[in-house]
Structure 1
Amino acid sequence: MLTLQDILYKVHLLQVQGATNIHVSAIVIDSRKVIAGSVFVAIKGLQSDGHAYIDKAVSLGAVAIVCEIMPDKLVDGITYIQVKNSNEAVAFMANNFYNEPSLHTKLVGVTGTNGKTTIATVLFKLFTQLGYKCGLISTVQNQIANEVIPATHTTPDAVSLNALLREMVDEGCSHVFMECSSHAIHQHRITGLHFTGGLFSNITHDHLDYHKTFDEYIKVKKKFFDDLPSNAFAISNADDKRGEVMLQNTHAKKYFYSLKTMADFKGKILDNALTGLQMTVNEMEVHFRLIGEFNAYNLLAVYGAAVCLGEDKYEVLTALSMLTGAEGRFDYVISKQLIIGIVDYAHTPDALENVLVTIKKLRKGHEQIITVVGCGGDRDKTKRPIMAQAACALSDKVILTSDNPRTEDAAAILADMEQGLDSAGRRKSLTISDRREAIKTAVSLARGEDIILIAGKGHEKYQDINGIKHPFDDKQVLREMFELLEK
């Protein structure tokens, strides 16, 4: 069993009161999970402050407390450690406690606003197809080879993440592909991990409820690449205006992918249809099952990472041509009347615009595009009118509806969205708060070969209303409405 001294390696200590040669059974950031012999790390969260639960942790058997502010009263026999940043401290501690799992696998991180899930998922599927045992850490799900573990966050907390990586290493995973959200980078959840490589997809308007300014959001994403070691690789999107900035201070070996300019991994779209993408990749022609220009970028990122990981380029493209993307990402169902229903996670103005532009390019003639879209509660309010505006600009009919209102009033969220509509937008839109009714209405308005986009929730199997997650699956509801149409 490790001692407290062992797991404090690399932690920036300000003050230590008590012994550090004591044995530690667990590292805990939730006082309710404290067991005898635990170290409790008090973290200041957005909802609550772990410092308020120090006494509870001690009463439940914690032998040591790590905190930013020392308690007024210290209990005899308990070790108290003051640190500058509890989030950073717990990341190093968890990494040490689980014996630095990321050193024993090839860990590849994917960051950016859109495309993270698809890139990480396709990498996981690709390397599994190539014969490797792999791990996946994503918004949709975590996976150890064939075992699926439901995901609660895009990137788990530092303790859960290191425990999961240790499990993956112990199960023999040679490669792990992980989404790295801006929250995870900022909150030090990935601090201390050793990345073999990092990928950047793109950066657009998102998470300003958390980061406050777009500049701060960019700096947080960039920090991921700044921290990569010199023996890692860093791959960025040359067509994103901040693609070069992301890598300007990295120590890693730099690579770029592009559809529009010279790059290490260069692609060109020859045909974009509902049957998939016909492309050249570094002069080699290949057909992919994934659809749309945004997926062309995702595929180039995946191809680049596979080449950087030492795989044969011909084997990689052959395997990639057979793969599908992530659940809830341009996921489509076709009714017997040939109405096409597309479910997509697009929850930012840029992602919504990308999906709708792709749909417009896939249209053969004058099929209607009917978009069902909402915005989440307790999140960046500034994007609400922009989302409605983007939907109306690129659709024939729009139904504004509830997404995950969380603790906000759904009607107030919809009113914010309506602020973005001009008179033309108001004429082509309806507001139906009930999401099931909104999808039902969209299906009733559609005719054969029309295209319905249901945006915002993608893979999610719930609707979050006042802290309760009610079962709700866009794709399942869409199928039910198509079945009603057929009766």
Structure 2
Amino acid sequence: KSLLFSQCKTALVNLDDEHAPYIIEHAHCHRLYTFGSDEKSDFHFSNIQYVANKDFVGITFGVCGKESFENFDVHAAIPGHFNAYNALSAVSVCALLGLNKEILTRGLEHIHVDGRMEIAYKSDHCSVIVDYAHNAISMESLLDTLRNYHPKRLVVVFGCGGNRAKERRYAMGEIAGRKADLSIVTADNSRYEKTEDIIADIIETLKPTGGKYLTIPDRREAIFYAVKNAQDGDMIAVIGKGHEDYQEINGVRTHFRDREVVDEAVKELL
């Protein structure tokens, strides 16, 4: 990646990244700027807050930087500390391009990325997030991120793909048991495997953690159950498929999109 910074006139580097010193040392661009949490950065954030209410779920933070962007607040409608870096990088690029601050802040406040920390529903009752997390690392990161919002219960709805390495199922089951208050284990893309067999593999490592769980093989029913039984203050994460608009079972793909099912459940049940 460092080679990219020798092929451009202007570079923007995350100063908090462990590889930043190397990249900066070997960059041969005309202008190099930095962003991050350190006040030494050309653009830096401060006072990150995790917000979840009926009007907004995401992060807020202050930005100090160059040009006319110095000292203003950002509301980014996408959860997680790591997304503060993503938002700050966007702010920094826009500052360097001289773009309008008001347009930028409005865009971040209403940002929407299909299946990536997507806020499918928010209210004073509960929040529902749809995300593509489909392996142990991304699942753990997501659940840790959502825990920062201090939900009454953190509920995760997930399964695992069929005809893939079983290690993924075992790892995700163990993480769900440790990190979620309730795991609803269901189908993903079972492909040519039996959904019940995949669920059994997941439960093999989830159960020993002592974490609360239940199994609902039909993914639509699982999402409806999570929404119907939500308690005040719950945060529900429907993960594994994200932006996908299909479900594959026995080699046949049928239309299925988590966000649409969440919308249906909310309309019918809440």
From the CA coordinates, give the structure whose radius of gyration is larger: 1
User: In the alignment, which residue of structure 1 is the partner of 2:68?
Assistant: none
Matched letter for residue 281 of structure 1: V
1:184-203 maps to which residues of 2 (within 5 A)? none
Distance 1:420 1:305 in 2: 44
Note closer, same or farther for the CA distance 1:322–1:396 as it changes in structure 2 (3 Å cut).
closer
Q: CA deviation at 1:397?
A: 0.4
Residues 69-120 of structure 1: CA distance to partner in whole angstroms, max 9, x if unpaired?
xxxxxxxxxxxxxxxxxxxxxxxxxxxxxxxxxxxxxxxxxxxxxxxxxxxx
Q: CA deviation at 1:372?
A: 0.5
Tell me if 1:281 matches 2:63. yes
Tell me if 1:338 matches 2:130. no
Note closer, same or farther for the CA distance 1:406–1:303 as it changes in structure 2 (3 Å cut).
farther
Distance 2:18 2:3 in 1: 18
TM-score (normalised: structure 1): 0.46
Tell me if 1:306 matches 2:94. yes
Matched letter for residue 329 of structure 1: R
Contact residue 87 and residue 108 of structure 2 kept, 8 A:
no
User: In the alignment, which residue of structure 2 is the partner of 1:297?
Assistant: 85
Q: How many residues are treated as equivalent by the alignment? A: 259
Contact residue 176 and residue 206 of structure 2 kept, 8 A:
no
Secondary structure of the 2:130 match is strand
Note closer, same or farther for the CA distance 1:317–1:342 as it changes in structure 2 (3 Å cut).
same
Contact residue 443 and residue 482 of structure 1 kept, 8 A:
yes
Tell me if 1:474 matches 2:258. yes
Please, which runs of 5 or more residues in structure 1 have no aligned partner?
A: 1-221
Note closer, same or farther for the CA distance 1:447–1:420 as it changes in structure 2 (3 Å cut).
same
1:259-408 maps to which residues of 2 (within 5 A)? 259=37, 262-274=40-52, 275=56, 276-282=58-64, 284-290=71-77, 291-308=79-96, 310-312=97-99, 314=101, 317-334=104-121, 338-363=125-150, 367-379=152-164, 381-408=166-193
User: In the alignment, which residue of structure 2 is the partner of 1:149?
Assistant: none
Note closer, same or farther for the CA distance 1:264–1:352 as it changes in structure 2 (3 Å cut).
farther
Note closer, same or farther for the CA distance 1:335–1:281 as it changes in structure 2 (3 Å cut).
closer
- Higher relative contact order, chain-length normalized (CA < 8 Å, sep 6+): 2
Residues 144-166 of structure 1: CA distance to partner in whole angstroms, max 9, x if unpaired?
xxxxxxxxxxxxxxxxxxxxxxx
Distance 2:268 2:196 in 1: 28
Q: CA deviation at 1:388?
A: 2.5
Note closer, same or farther for the CA distance 1:476–1:234 as it changes in structure 2 (3 Å cut).
same
How much is the aligned-residue C-alpha RMSD, in angstroms?
3.3
Structure 1, 312-321 or 275-284: larger mean CA deviation: 312-321
- Percent identity reads 32
Please, which runs of 5 or more residues in structure 2 have no aligned partner?
A: 66-70
Q: Which of the residues 238, 243, 246 maps onto 1:462?
A: 246
TM-score (normalised: structure 2): 0.77
